[in-house]
């Protein structure tokens, strides 16, 4: 524990001082590997670890750098690093309850607490997943099982009408793969129009569902995103809940990133309506700042989950009559890592208010970024209460500008097309990002923009 804590602190220092962007070609990395690792002889473990650390420091975007304003990859908590190490050492198998009662009950306890925060009923079923994509895939699978009794045994081909899912272009693109994997086909995704803030347009949703029903399709599910990847938009969750109830559709809330806001008294009202969801995706490896991968799938219909993931095999330990459940019969995975320990340990150490303070700090840093950009003549082109800022200025060549940020190792940001126009996307995703980080980044960007304008 002490050794990990020391290493953790030391690495933070090193990363903070070092470059954010990697520097290396595939040829260079492959040549290094080919010349050092033919796996014929034996190598000293400590030496190899040192070499791996060198590789990770050189050939990786340092997502835990306080000036990584990127995708939702967080700076991780010490507790989550300790948890990952413990899990590897004890190697618990969580597929069934009897093999790891401790691990299963710790996960159940943690998920139950969070489910209640989301306002889901006590009998809801929840499991840890590899990430948001597995949770979203679980949601589609359970929703199909719920809507089409023949789906599980006879497959989609037995259905009289083609099932369709409603979401927006701003929803996570993983749903394309999920439509492919489940056999729905990518064309089963119906892209609903968005309003000026890139939120789902309810009138267009109603129109499309009605039209598809008239044309003989079988609408069964709507995906509302709470914090879109590109711009942090939050779909109208309350209206979605009401509409889905009325229309007999499964309401899935994809809160992979934004879901953590449920812990914050300042932010949670932005998620109002999520309690009416049939299922929820939330990633602890995003805004809960635990190491990858730690997704979660919540569902208010335990019987539907049990139906979708049912399995009976002779070689698994017997079920007992006690009120326990075996994750291999309530989730996609079979062999199951003790994923939930990193969220449990982080919550135990920080407490609810400490965990909320981390995201509230990042939200404040997002405001500082937004305000200081506006004050220096930039234009903000997205609207969200979350710390995700998309911006541009007249005449800016976004691609060239981002290349300069990279060359000078100022900050990691990315390009995002907003209503057809390129913009710069910055997300505060590290609890270690300070106000002086933000202000110095804006200062540097102002200098670069002036240079670009002069040429």
Residue nearest to ligand PLP (CB): 132
Straight-line distance from the first to the last Cα atom of the chain, in angstroms, rounded to the nearest whole number? 54
- DSSP notation for 54-103: HHHHHSS--TTSTTB--SS-PPPPHHHHHHHHHHHHH----SSTTT-HHH
Residue 454: which residues within 8 A CB-CB, separation 6 or more?
Answer: none
**Smaller CB distance to ligand PLP: residue 172 or 208?**
172
Interaction site with ligand PLP (CB under 6 A): 72, 131-133, 136, 172, 174, 225, 229, 254, 256-257, 283, 295
CB of 112 to ligand PLP, least distance (A): 22
CB 433 within 8 A of CB 362: yes
Eight-state DSSP code of residue 20: S
**Smaller CB distance to ligand PLP: residue 346 or 372?**
346
Question: Residues, the chain, total?
Answer: 455
**Smaller CB distance to ligand PLP: residue 100 or 387?**
387
CB of 270 to ligand PLP, least distance (A): 14
CB 174 within 8 A of CB 257: no
**Smaller CB distance to ligand PLP: residue 297 or 391?**
297
Between CA 345 and CA 349 the distance in angstroms is: 6
Between CA 95 and CA 102 the distance in angstroms is: 13
Q: How many CA atoms does the CB half-sphere of 18 hold within 13 Å?
A: 20
CB of 172 to ligand PLP, least distance (A): 3
Between CA 286 and CA 261 the distance in angstroms is: 11
CB of 234 to ligand PLP, least distance (A): 10
**Smaller CB distance to ligand PLP: residue 119 or 174?**
174
Eight-state DSSP code of residue 268: G
**Smaller CB distance to ligand PLP: residue 124 or 225?**
225
CB of 133 to ligand PLP, least distance (A): 3
Residue 26 has a CB neighbour count (10 Å cut-off) of: 8
Six token digits for residue 78: 């010490």
CB of 406 to ligand PLP, least distance (A): 23
CB of 452 to ligand PLP, least distance (A): 31
């Amino acid at each position: 524990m002490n050794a990990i804590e020391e290493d953790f602190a030391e690495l933070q220092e090193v990363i903070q001082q070092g470059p954010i962007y990697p520097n290396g070609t595939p040829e260079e990395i492959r040549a290094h590997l080919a010349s050092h690792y033919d796996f014929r002889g034996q190598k000293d473990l400590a030496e190899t670890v040192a070499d791996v650390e060198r590789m990770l420091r050189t050939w990786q975007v340092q997502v835990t750098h306080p000036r990584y304003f990127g995708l939702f990859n967080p700076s991780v908590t010490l507790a989550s690093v300790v948890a990952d190490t413990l899990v590897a050492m004890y190697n618990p198998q969580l597929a069934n309850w009897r093999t790891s009662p401790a691990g299963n009950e710790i996960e159940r306890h943690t998920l139950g607490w969070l489910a209640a925060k989301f306002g889901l009923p006590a009998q809801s079923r929840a499991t840890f997943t590899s990430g948001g994509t597995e949770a979203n895939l679980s949601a589609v699978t359970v929703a199909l099982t719920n809507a089409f009794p023949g789906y599980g045994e006879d497959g989609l081909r037995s259905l009289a009408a083609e099932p369709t899912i409603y979401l927006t272009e701003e929803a996570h693109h993983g749903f394309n793969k999920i439509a492919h994997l489940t056999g729905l086909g990518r064309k089963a995704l119906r892209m609903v129009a968005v309003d000026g803030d890139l939120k789902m347009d309810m009138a267009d949703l109603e129109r499309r569902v009605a039209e598809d029903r008239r044309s003989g399709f079988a609408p069964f599910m709507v995906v509302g995103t709470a914090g879109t990847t590109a711009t942090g938009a939050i779909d109208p969750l309350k209206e979605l809940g009401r509409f889905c109830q009325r229309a007999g559709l499964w309401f899935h809330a994809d809160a992979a990133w934004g879901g953590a806001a449920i812990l914050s008294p300042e932010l949670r009202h932005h998620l109002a309506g999520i309690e009416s969801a049939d299922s929820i995706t939330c990633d602890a490896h995003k805004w809960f700042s635990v190491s990858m991968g730690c997704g979660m799938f919540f569902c208010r219909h335990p019987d539907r989950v049990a139906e979708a993931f049912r399995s009976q095999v002779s070689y698994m330990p017997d079920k007992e009559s006690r009120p326990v459940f075996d994750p291999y019969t309530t989730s996609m995975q079979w062999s199951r890592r003790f994923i939930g320990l990193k969220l449990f340990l982080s919550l135990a150490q920080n407490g609810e208010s400490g965990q909320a303070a981390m995201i509230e700090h990042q939200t404040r840093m997002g405001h500082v970024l937004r305000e200081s950009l506006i004050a220096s003549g930039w234009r903000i082109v997205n609207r969200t209460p979350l710390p995700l800022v998309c911006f541009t200025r007249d005449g800016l060549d976004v691609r060239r500008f981002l290349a300069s940020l990279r060359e000078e190792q100022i900050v990691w940001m990315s390009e995002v097309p907003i209503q057809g126009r390129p913009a710069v996307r910055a997300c505060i995703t590290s609890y270690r990002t300070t106000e002086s980080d933000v202000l110095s980044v804006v200062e540097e960007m102002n200098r670069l923009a002036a240079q670009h304008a002069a040429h």
